[in-house]
Amino acid sequence: MVQKRQLSNDENLICITYHDEKLLVHHRDQLQSRLEEIFHYSRIFTDLIEFCTYIKDKFHGYRLVFIFCGNLAQHLCSVVKSRIIDSENFFLYELQFGQERLLSNLPNGQRFQNIDQLFEKIIYDLGGSMENQHDPNQEIPPNDELNLQQSTLTFDIYSRFQQQKPFYSLSRESRRFILFQSFIEILLKIEKTQHDLEEMWAACCREANIENNDIYIKEIQDFQQKYIPNDAIRFYSKNSFLFRYINFALRCESIEKIFTFRPFIAHLHQQLVKLGSQQRSTRQRSEYTFYRGVKLPKQILQRLSDNKDNLISMNGFLSTTKSKTVADMYADPDNPVLGYESVRFEMHLDENQLNEIIITKRPYADISNNSDYRDEDEVLFFMGFIWYIKSVEQTSENLWKVELELSKDLHVYMNSHFDESINNYDYVALGKISHELGEYTSAINFFKRMLRLSPNLSQYDRAKIYLHIAKSEYANNAYENAIENLQKANENICNVSISNDETNFPLRPNYADDAELSTISMLKNMGLVYRQINNYEKAKVSFEEGLRQSLSNTDKAELHYALGELEFEFNRSVIANNHYHLALELAEEPSLKEKINRKLTHV
């Protein structure tokens, strides 16, 4: 995924922002974007009562950043100062987006009319204070255990799903989740070979060598000799390099690393499907409760509390237990840790809500008899389960309970999406999904792998793949590479009869108005890429060559419009005006006519 410029890993840092309803939409979007870029967790309020209720008596031990926009800035500063006792752990700032005067009585270094200056100051202030936040007298627990807990319990939160919504009207988080699960679905279907398994062990060995971890190197050599696909659960359950490496890849949703582990992921999936099916055939009831004990940073617990009634999905395999006692052992409430809370997840599941198809795609099973830790009563869930956050409450002084219920709605939608959108389980499909996820380099690698491993592809199919590569290169700002692959696509289709009924791309390309596989489309796209890198001559040549070869009025209109845009950007207004008028005469699509008329009012 795209790396954010977030502050250093202060798990108990929260940013709370208030602005009134008068704040312009583009300022709201700008503020939201910067908060997501800088902070691991933030909340935005527009209702004064909700804001005051939220900050009341709940943030002892947190580090808080407050940003106030609008006419209530001074009043809100006073409210915070009266309610937050620990003055060393909160920071107040005012942002007024270019207004002539600032409204609060905060010092000048805390009042801003420029959002970039505000966030530069926030980073500076928090960076300095973080250096001094460690108490040398505070006993710190072994980092390895806490890090391991964190590495195997990361999650994403989504708004409640509305069944009638089309895919692209879902929230960004929901779309990403479905796309990532589609990626896993294809990964499970693609054929695996012994060579793929050898590549996996080699990649693990490289990682262990980089870490200078001799223990892991020995474990890898041992696993490589003894590994049996039908015993994947036992190998996963061991406290070893495999458990850590694969959970790290899943936690980060690293496409390349997950692809490396595809043989093992498939073997584990197959064994969970088989074992789960055997167990369901002998069970007498359908409702179960599973537990998971963990120490969570306070900020993460607050995020869960703030999202009651929403949905949560764990990033990767989910290890649970049938025993509340085992869960409490891991939560360890009798040994508090600074900045963390002991949490017991209680997950309720009714198998009657899941049809056989979904259980086959996303299995779970009691793995007690297949694990090296039989006394832990472990139930292992494959990735992709979605839970409804029912409640978050403190059950005793040192223990919190998070109650979850299995959500079936999005699982049903996912099942439908898989069937409708995934026609081919191949590297092109992996490339398309990687592109939509923003993993452009991975997408390019998958497309190139398809070309390399499929020497008998038709010219038409090769042209399609080169076009996909060009899209990803363009999105990755590699414009010369995009042009090179558009040229290769064009070479492959020059002598091929092309139909215009190619399946549309799930994501429309950024650099063209269509994804049609034709010479005209290639020339238009090349022109648009040349225009992006300010190469006027080559852009003009590409568009004009497209015009010479065009037969339809629609293509001619779009190319005249593109030439008008090019000439306008290079201050040739008269020529631009001529192309816009020619485009308007030829245009048939109402949307294109509307764009042209808007342009003509400015030329």
Q: Are residues 249 and 317 in the same domain?
A: no
Specify the pLDDT at position 261. Answer: 97
User: Percentages helix, strand, coil for the chain, rounded to the nearest 5?
Assistant: 55, 15, 30
**Is 138 domain-assigned?**
no
**Token representation of residue 230:** 């039908």
559, 585: one domain = yes
Same domain? For 333 and 443 the reply is no
Q: Is 54 in contact with 103 (CB distance < 8 Å)?
A: no
Domain of 396 in residue numbering reads as: 285-415
d(CA 69, CA 17): 8
Both 173 and 67 in a single domain?
A: no
At which of 398, 415, 432 does a domain end?
415
| Domain-terminating residue out of 362, 387, 415 | 415
CATH of the domain at 38: 3.40.50
**Most distant CA pair in the chain: distance in Å?**
81
Residue 1: the pLDDT is 38
The answer to whether 61 touches 133, Cβ cutoff 8 Å, is no
Q: State how far the Cα of 64 lies from the Cα of 61, in Å rounded to an integer.
A: 10
**CA within 13 Å, CB half, 321:** 19
pLDDT at 500: 40
**Which alpha helices (H) appear in 139-228, and where do they start and end?**
143-151, 172-189, 194-210, 214-226
Evaluate whether residue 74 is within a structural domain: yes
Same-domain pairing of 252 and 189:
yes
565 located within any domain = yes
**How many separate domains does the chain show?**
4
End-to-end CA distance of the chain: 41
Same domain, residue pair 509 and 567:
yes
Question: Exposure pattern of 146-170 as b/e (b: 16+ CB <10 Å)?
Answer: beebbbbbeebebeebeeeeeeeeb
pLDDT along the chain (603 residues), means of 10: 50 89 89 88 92 79 89 92 73 87 90 93 77 40 48 67 52 79 90 94 96 96 96 95 93 91 97 94 88 92 90 90 95 90 95 78 93 92 92 92 85 57 74 91 95 90 93 92 92 64 36 59 91 92 92 90 92 91 90 86 72
Residues 379 and 298 in one domain: yes
CATH number for the domain harbouring residue 370: 3.90.176.10
460 with 507, same domain: the answer is: yes
Whole-number pLDDT of residue 3:
41
d(CA 182, CA 384): 10
pLDDT at 409: 65
Q: Is 446 found in the same domain as 389?
A: no
CA distances from residue 533 to 29, 32, 478, 563 in whole angstroms, order as listed: 28, 30, 10, 15
Q: Is residue 139 a part of any domain in this protein? A: no
Q: Do 568 and 519 sit in the same domain of this protein? A: yes
Does the residue 162 lie in any domain?
no
Collapsing DSSP to helix, strand or coil, 229 comes out as: helix
Is 146 a domain residue?
Answer: no
- Is-contact 531 570, C-beta < 8 A? no
HEC profile of 168-191: HHCCHHHHHHHHHHHHHHHHHHCC
Which residue, 276, 296, 311, sits at the end of a domain? Answer: 276
Domain CATH code at residue 438? 1.25.40.10
Residue 588 has what pLDDT? 87
Residue 139's pLDDT is 38
Q: Are residues 308 and 362 in the same domain?
A: yes
| Residue 535: inside a domain | yes
219 and 271 together in one domain: yes
Query: Is position 542 within any domain?
Result: yes
Return the pLDDT at 253: 85
Between CA 558 and CA 107 the distance in angstroms is 55
With helix as H, strand as E and coil as C, how does 22-42 read?
CCCHHHHHHHHHHHHHHCCCE
